[in-house]
Chain A
Amino acid sequence: MTINQNWKNTVDDGINNAAWDAYDTIIHNEVGDMICSADQHYNARFIENAYHTKYTGVDWKLMKAILWVESGGPRNSAWTTRPMQIGNKGDPAYDVLKRGADDSSIIMASDLLSTIKTQSIDQPELNIRTGIAYLFTRMAYFDTDTVFDPDDAKVYLEVVQQGDSLEKIGKRVGTTVDVLASLRKLGKSKTLQPGEKLQYRKATLQRVIKSWRTWDYQNIAARYNGGGDPAYAEKLEYVHATLFPKLVR
């Protein structure tokens, strides 16, 4: 699909007009740089847990490109209200995040959920933060998995009683079937014998980020725009790969 020339003219204005950078600090602070750090931005949080999820960091300028595509720039009225177009009437994205649904509560920083619930979404900063949270939620694969208690690394011992099963023991002592089976030589396969000793660590089953979709233009278009604008991926690429290197500031 070819991008409309009028649309190109609109975003080309951003090359020389610094007003298009007005939200850079907000986006940069939210996403962070592609390094591991002690900050609470998305890159720092998810790179820290990248052992399982293979998260390698996201270029914050991708979010800036989305902002340009979504808002149409500072001349558009949406720029000062809902620049990421979250919260438009009939938009399910806002409702998902407000409820912390679809595992978005795992994605959002702790303060964001309460802010979304209590404040108007028609403020640019909150709209941008919510839009970014929605994209991260849509780009992640989630699953239910064992999570060890971070405050208790001790290995306990439990003796099997008559009529026990791994499920029963797990519930009784505060761990999961997977933990009990993984520390047992016979795994899940053999019947438990009364008197058998099982090792375990305290753990619970939780929703976790399993992995991430590739952060390419096609995936971002499909996950954020949902197929509403067939040229969305090309528009993102145009802004991110063609315009941004030309910005004159």
Chain B
Amino acid sequence: MGQEAGKKWAATVAHCQCVQPALPKSGRLPGITLFVLLSLAAQPVFSRDADWDAWSNIQGKAYAALQAQGIADKDRILVHLAHTCSLKKGHKTYRVLEMRELVRGGPSPRGINYLVLMDNRFRVAAKVELGMARPYYCDAGKVILNLPVDIPWLGNTGNVLVLDDLAHVVRAEQMETSDMAGFRPKRSERH
């Protein structure tokens, strides 16, 4: 399908070239060069459709698994399901997913928003209610969020979720945005 779309896109561009009024000689070279460059740039993008299809496939499987495990609900509208990052814990890799659903009806639909940790076999290891918060990234066994979330079983609030080897949240800590990875030089470089 990607290659087909690529051909169509190339044909459209070629057609545009045909119906365009002839450019003055000085303007033709940049036009042709642009076309060649665009074609070259477009080529690898079209060849990655398989990757995108693979992600859609994984996303579908993850959503089905979330439904089967009672976290997602087919009566709600799934508006967002993304793989934020992956965490290595012991010998296992956990996928950190951000899931957002809306309850139908009403002018202000209720949001059911979860951070879900799922193993490679699509089994949910942990879930944390996100509310308005969003996960940013994973860092050495931690998940960093933009806003603090409540961890009711710990009686704890924070935007850094510390996980044990089973991917259970064992602690929530606070971190300023300015201290997040990539926002500033590493501490050792500051001194």
Residues from chain A with a CB closer than 8 A to the CB of B74 are 90
How many angstroms from the CA of A10 to the CA of B107 in the assembled complex?
11
Residue of B with least CB distance to A66: B108
Residues from chain A with a CB closer than 8 A to the CB of B105 are 78, 82, 85, 88-89
| Binary contact track B87-109/A, C-beta < 8 Å → 1, others 0 | 00000000000001111111111
Range of interface residues on B (Cβ < 8 Å) = 20 to 34
Residue of B with least CB distance to A88: B105
For chain A residues 188-241, which have a beta carbon within 8 Å of chain B? 210, 221-230, 232, 235
Given contacts A89-B104, A90-B76, is CB(A229)–CB(B131) below 8 Å?
no
A-B pairs with CB below 8 Å: how many? 81
Residues from chain B with a CB closer than 8 A to the CB of A82 are 105
CB distance from A20 to the nearest CB of B (A): 14
How many angstroms from the CA of A85 to the CA of B102 in the assembled complex?
12
For chain A residues 86-130, which have a beta carbon within 8 Å of chain B? 88-93
Tell me if B76 and A72 are in contact (CB < 8 A): no
Tell me if B155 and A70 are in contact (CB < 8 A): no
Asked if A76 lies at the interface with its beta carbon under 8 angstroms from chain B, I say: yes
For chain B residues 49-70, which have a beta carbon within 8 Å of chain A? none
Tell me if B110 and A228 are in contact (CB < 8 A): yes
How many angstroms from the CA of A107 to the CA of B27 in the assembled complex?
76
Residue of A with least CB distance to B147: A222
Tell me if A90 and B104 are in contact (CB < 8 A): yes
How many angstroms from the CA of A10 to the CA of B106 in the assembled complex?
14
Residues from chain B with a CB closer than 8 A to the CB of A224 are 110
B132 CB contact (under 8 Å) in A90, A93, A222: A222
Given contacts A141-B155, A142-B152, is CB(A227)–CB(B131) below 8 Å?
yes
Tell me if B75 and A225 are in contact (CB < 8 A): no
Residues from chain A with a CB closer than 8 A to the CB of B112 are 92, 226, 228
Residues from chain B with a CB closer than 8 A to the CB of A225 are 108, 110-111
Tell me if A88 and B113 are in contact (CB < 8 A): no
Most chain A CB within a 10 A radius of its CB, from B75, B101, B104, B132: B132
Given contacts A88-B104, A92-B112, A232-B108, is CB(A226)–CB(B131) below 8 Å?
yes
How many angstroms from the CA of A76 to the CA of B108 in the assembled complex?
13
Tell me if B108 and A70 are in contact (CB < 8 A): yes
How many angstroms from the CA of A226 to the CA of B74 in the assembled complex?
18
Given contacts A225-B111, A230-B132, is CB(A85)–CB(B73) below 8 Å?
no
Asked if A164 lies at the interface with its beta carbon under 8 angstroms from chain B, I say: no
Given contacts A91-B103, A143-B155, A210-B155, is CB(A226)–CB(B108) below 8 Å?
no
Tell me if B110 and A93 are in contact (CB < 8 A): yes
Residues from chain B with a CB closer than 8 A to the CB of A62 are none
For chain B residues 118-132, which have a beta carbon within 8 Å of chain A? 129-132
B106 CB contact (under 8 Å) in A7, A88, A226, A235: A88
- Supply 4 further A-B pairs (C-beta < 8 A) apart from A85-B103, A228-B102: A88-B104, A88-B106, A88-B110, A227-B130
What are 11 A-B contacts with C-beta separation under 8 Å? A69-B108, A85-B103, A89-B105, A92-B73, A141-B155, A221-B132, A223-B131, A226-B110, A228-B108, A228-B110, A229-B109
List the 10 closest pairs (A to B, CB-CB), nearest first. Answer: A228-B111, A90-B75, A229-B108, A90-B76, A227-B111, A226-B111, A85-B106, A72-B107, A89-B75, A222-B131
